[in-house]
Amino acid sequence: MINFLSISCFTVPDEHLLSLKFVFGSSAVQALDLVDRQSITLISSPSGRRVYQVLGSSGKTYTCLASCHYCSCPAFTFSVLRKSDSLLCKHLLAVYLSQVMRTCQQLSVSDKQLTDILLTEKKEAA
């Protein structure tokens, strides 16, 4: 018997879930929860710049750059960059999963608005 997990009208076979869990550990389950809650938004501008914002389980929004494998969350900085004991954080994994599942919410903004979003994120982090 094959079991499936349904996420936002997308069915994931158990074998894929087991593979995700094997590679990413508990982050896989947390990332799938973020996808299921539709917490990922792709923000794009006319110049072609694209960033993802992920509403984390704590209620804080993190910025992810899938093109260069980056997330603004503390777990990414500590576990991925400093300790190198994780491949990526749950937010970045959620971005990649939502791309494959085509479940990203989409928002088109002007180039200036996107710059303002990124600058606000930088000021909050400082």
Q: Report pLDDT digits (tens) over 65-80.
A: 988 999 999 999 998 8
Comparing 4-13, 20-29, 38-47, the range with the smallest average pLDDT is: 4-13
| Distance linking the first and last C-alpha atoms of the chain | 51
Q: Are 67 and 48 in contact (CB under 8 A)?
A: no
More confident residue, 9 or 16: 16
3-class DSSP assignment, residue 110: coil
Cβ contacts of 58 within 8 Å, gap of 6 or more: none
* Res 21: pLDDT: 87
14-24 vs 26-36: helix axis angle to the nearest 10? 120
User: E strands, 1-126, where?
Assistant: 4-7, 10-13, 40-44, 50-55, 61-65, 70-71, 105-108
* Res 1: pLDDT: 33
Residue of 112, 98, 120, 92 whose CA lies nearest to 45: 112
* Res 15: pLDDT: 85
Taking the C-alpha atoms of residue 63 and residue 73, their distance in angstroms, rounded to an integer, is 8
* Res 3: pLDDT: 40
Q: Average pLDDT in the 46-72 region?
A: 93
| 90-100 tens-digit pLDDT | 999 999 999 98
